Amino acid sequence: VFLFLSLTLFTAPPDQAPDFAFFESKIRPVLVGKCYKCHSSNLPAPKGDFALDTKDGLLKGGATGVAIVPGKPGESRLLMALRYADTDLQMPPSGKLPDTVIADFEQWLAAGAPDPRTAPLASAVATAPQGMSVEEGRKWWAFQPLEVVAPPPTRDSRPAKNVIDAFIVSKLEQQGLSPSPEADPRTLVRRVYVDLVGFKPNYEEIEAFLADPSPLAYENLVDRLLASPHYGERWGRHWMDVARFGEDNPTGEATNPAYPFAWRYRDWIIEAVNQDVPYDRFVKLQLAADLIPGTPRADLRALGYLGAAPVYHKDLRLSEQVIGGFLTDDWDERIDATTRGLLAITVACARCHDHKFDPIPTADYYGLMGVFASTMRAERPLFDVEPEVETRFAWLQNRLFDLAYSVNLLTNEASTVVDSASRVARWKAEIETLKQEALGLQEKYPQLVAKLERYWSPPGQRRQADDAVNNGSRRRRNSASTEPFTNAVFEAAQYLDGSDPQFTFIHYKAGEARDMPLLKTGNLATPGEIVPRHFPTVLAQSDPSFKQGSGRLELAERIFSDAAPLAARVIVNRVWGWHMGRPLVGTPSDFGVQGEMPTHLELLDNLAARFIQHGWSLKWLHREIMMSATYGQASQPREDGVRLDVANLLVWRMNPRRLDIETYRDTLLRLSGRMNERMFGPSEDLQSPRNVRRTVYSRVSRGRQNSLLKNYDFPDAMQSAGGRDLTVTPLQQLFVMNSEFMHEAAAELAAATSSEAESDARLQFLFRRVLGREPTRRELELALDFLQGGSLEQYAQVLLSTNEEIFWP
Amino acid sequence: MTHPTSRRNMLRSLFGGIGGLGLASVLSREEAQASTVGHYTGPRMLSKARHVINLVLSGGPSQVDLLDPKPALARHEGQRPGSVELRTERQTGGLLPTPFQFRPRGESGIEVSEMLPQLASVIDDICVIRSMYSFNPTHTPAVSLWHTGTVLLNRPSIGSWVSYGLGSENDDLPSFVALGGGGSATRSGFLPAQHQGTPFNHSELDPVNMIPDLQNKWTDQLAQRRQLDAQQALNREYSQTFGADEYLEGRIQSMESAYRMQFAALDAFDVRKESAAIREEYGSGTFANGCLLARRLVERGVRYVHVGFSGWDDHKDLEKNYRKNCPAMDQAAAALIRDLKRRGLLDETIVVWGGEFGRTPVSESGTGRDHNPYGYTMWVAGGGFRGGLAYGATDEFGFKAIENRVSIHDLHATMLYALGMDHTRLTYRYAGRDFRLTDVLGEVVNDIIQ
Q: Cβ contacts (< 8 Å) between B310 and chain A: which residues? A: none
User: A690: Cβ–Cβ under 8 A, 6 or more apart, which residues?
Assistant: none
Strand residue runs (E) in A150-236: none
What's the pLDDT tens digit per position in B60-106? 999 999 999 999 999 999 999 988 888 888 888 899 999 999 999 99
Residues 341-400 of A with CB under 8 A from B: 346, 348-349, 355-358
Report the residue from B19, B429, B440 with minimal CB separation from A5.
Answer: B440
| Average pLDDT score, chain B | 88
Contact status of A96 with chain B (Cβ, < 8 Å): no
pLDDT at A118: 59
CB contact under 8 A, B10 and A647: yes
CB contact under 8 A, A322 and B235: no
Nearest CA in chain A to B182: A704
Question: H or E element: which one contains A518?
Answer: strand A516-519
The confidence band for A463, taking pLDDT boundaries of 50, 70 and 90, is very low
The confidence band for A373, taking pLDDT boundaries of 50, 70 and 90, is very high
CB contact under 8 A, A802 and B261: no
Selection from A61-70, A83-92, A655-664, B426-435 with the highest mean pLDDT: A655-664
Contact status of A248 with chain B (Cβ, < 8 Å): no
The confidence band for A181, taking pLDDT boundaries of 50, 70 and 90, is very high
Residues 487-516 of A with CB under 8 A from B: 502
* Strand-pair category, A375-381 with A527-531: unpaired
**By C-alpha distance, which of A264, A452, A287, A262 is closest to A375?**
A287
Residue B185 distance to chain A (closest CA, Å): 12
Give percent of chain A with pLDDT exceeding 70. Answer: 92
Contact status of A798 with chain B (Cβ, < 8 Å): yes
What's the pLDDT tens digit per position in A468-509? 344 333 444 457 999 999 999 999 999 999 888 888 999 999
Length of chain B: 450
CB contact under 8 A, A1 and B151: yes
This complex has an ipTM of 0.83
CB contact under 8 A, A743 and B20: no
Give which of A475, A724, A733, A806 to mutate to test B binding, by max B Cβ within 10 Å. A733
From first CA to last CA, the distance across chain B in angstroms is: 41
pLDDT at A253: 87
pLDDT at A160: 65
Residue B419 distance to chain A (closest CA, Å): 24
User: What is the C-alpha separation between A794 and A787, in angstroms, rounded?
Assistant: 9
Nearest CA in chain B to A782: B230
CB contact under 8 A, A4 and B441: yes
Q: What is the DSSP letter of A33?
A: I
Q: Give the residue-averaged pLDDT of B239-250.
A: 92
pLDDT at A757 over 90: no
Give percent of chain B with pLDDT exceeding 90. Answer: 69
What's the pLDDT tens digit per position in B20-52? 332 222 222 233 333 456 888 888 887 889 999
Residue A488 distance to chain B (closest CA, Å): 22
pLDDT at B347 over 70: yes
What's the pLDDT tens digit per position in A498-513? 888 888 999 999 999 9
Q: Cβ contacts (< 8 Å) between B2 and chain A: which residues? A: 594-597
pLDDT at B141 over 60: yes
Residue A448 distance to chain B (closest CA, Å): 33
**By C-alpha distance, which of A256, A306, A336, A310 is closest to A489?**
A306
User: A722: Cβ–Cβ under 8 A, 6 or more apart, which residues?
Assistant: A241, A242, A340, A574, A587, A588, A589, A590, B14
Radius of gyration from C-alpha coordinates of chain A: 31
Q: Give the residue-averaged pLDDT of A229-256.
A: 95
User: A788: Cβ–Cβ under 8 A, 6 or more apart, which residues?
Assistant: none
Specify the higher pLDDT residue, A114 or A712.
A712
Give which of B31, B90, B190 to mutate to test A binding, by max A Cβ within 10 Å. B90
Q: Cβ contacts (< 8 Å) between A1 and chain B: which residues? A: 150-152
CB contact under 8 A, B258 and A731: yes
What's the pLDDT tens digit per position in B199-231? 888 888 888 888 889 999 999 999 999 999 999
Residue A17 distance to chain B (closest CA, Å): 33
pLDDT at A418: 65
Contact status of A778 with chain B (Cβ, < 8 Å): yes
The confidence band for B115, taking pLDDT boundaries of 50, 70 and 90, is very high
Q: Cβ contacts (< 8 Å) between B92 and chain A: which residues? A: 416
Give which of B15, B216, B236 to mutate to test A binding, by max A Cβ within 10 Å. B15
Q: DSSP readout, A458-499?
A: -GGG-TT--GGGSSS----S-----SSEEEEEEEEEEEEEEE
Q: Is the dihedral of CA B75, B77, B83, B84 positive or negative?
A: positive
Nearest CA in chain A to B433: A594
The confidence band for A421, taking pLDDT boundaries of 50, 70 and 90, is confident
User: What is the C-alpha separation between A362 and B324, in angstroms, rounded?
Assistant: 53
| Average pLDDT score, chain A | 89
CB A68 within 8 A of CB A109: yes
Radius of gyration from C-alpha coordinates of chain B: 23
Q: Give the residue-averaged pLDDT of A74-95.
A: 86
What's the pLDDT tens digit per position in A155-171? 766 666 789 999 999 99
CB contact under 8 A, B258 and A734: yes
CB atoms within 10 A of CB A688: 10
Residue B111 distance to chain A (closest CA, Å): 33
The confidence band for B5, taking pLDDT boundaries of 50, 70 and 90, is very low
User: What is the C-alpha separation between A182 and A127, in angstroms, rounded?
Assistant: 55
Which region among A288-292, A606-610, B167-171, B339-343 has the lowest average model confidence (pLDDT)?
B167-171
CB contact under 8 A, A716 and B257: no
Give percent of chain A with pLDDT exceeding 90. Answer: 68
pLDDT at B39: 84
pLDDT at A116: 72
pLDDT at B185 over 70: yes
CB A784 within 8 A of CB A760: yes
Residue B247 distance to chain A (closest CA, Å): 7
Cβ pairs A/B, distance under 8 A: 299
What's the pLDDT tens digit per position in A382-410? 999 999 999 999 999 999 999 999 998 88
CB contact under 8 A, A729 and B224: no
CB A524 within 8 A of CB A546: no
**By C-alpha distance, which of A725, A704, A699, A723 is closest to A245?**
A699
User: What is the C-alpha separation between A493 and A327, in angstroms, rounded?
Assistant: 12
Is residue A433 exposed (0-12), middle (13-18) or buried (19+ Cβ within 10 Å)? exposed
**By C-alpha distance, which of B115, B49, B50, B17 is closest to B327?**
B115
H helix runs in A71-132, sequence order:
77-83, 99-110, 120-126
User: What is the C-alpha separation between B242 and B238, in angstroms, rounded?
Assistant: 6
Question: H or E element: which one contains A381?
Answer: strand A375-381
Q: How many CA atoms lie within 13 A of B327 on its CB side?
A: 6
User: What is the C-alpha separation between A504 and A274, in angstroms, rounded?
Assistant: 46
Give which of B145, B194, B374, B438 to mutate to test A binding, by max A Cβ within 10 Å. B194
Peptide bond into A44 cis (omega under 30): no
Q: What is the 3-state secondary structure (H, E, C) of chain B?
A: CECCCCHHHHHCCCCCCCCCCCCCCCCCHHHHHHHHECCCCCCCCCCCCCEEEEEEEECCCCHHHHCCCCCHHHHCCCCCCHHHCCCCCCCCCCECCCCCCEEEECCCCEEEECCCHHHHHCHHHEEEEEEEECCCCCHHHHHHHHHHCCCCCCCCCHHHHHHHHHECCCCCCCCEEEECCCHHHCCCCCCCHHHCCEEECCCCCCHHHHCCCCCCCCCCHHHHHHHHHHHHHHHHHHHHHHCCCHHHHHHHHHHHHHHHHHHHHHHHCCHHHCCHHHHHHHCCCHHHHHHHHHHHHHHCCCCEEEEEEECCCCCCCHHHHHHHHHHHHHHHHHHHHHHHHHCCCCCCEEEEEECCCEEEEEEECCCEEEEECCCEEEEEECCCECCCEEECEECCCCCCEEECCEEHHHHHHHHHHHCCCCCCCCEEEECCEEEECCCCCCCCCHHHEC
User: What is the C-alpha separation between A35 and A527, in angstroms, rounded?
Assistant: 12
- Chain centre to alpha carbon of residue A460: 39
The confidence band for A778, taking pLDDT boundaries of 50, 70 and 90, is very high
What's the pLDDT tens digit per position in B290-310? 999 999 999 999 999 999 999
Residues 627-656 of A with CB under 8 A from B: 636-637, 642, 646-647, 649, 655-656
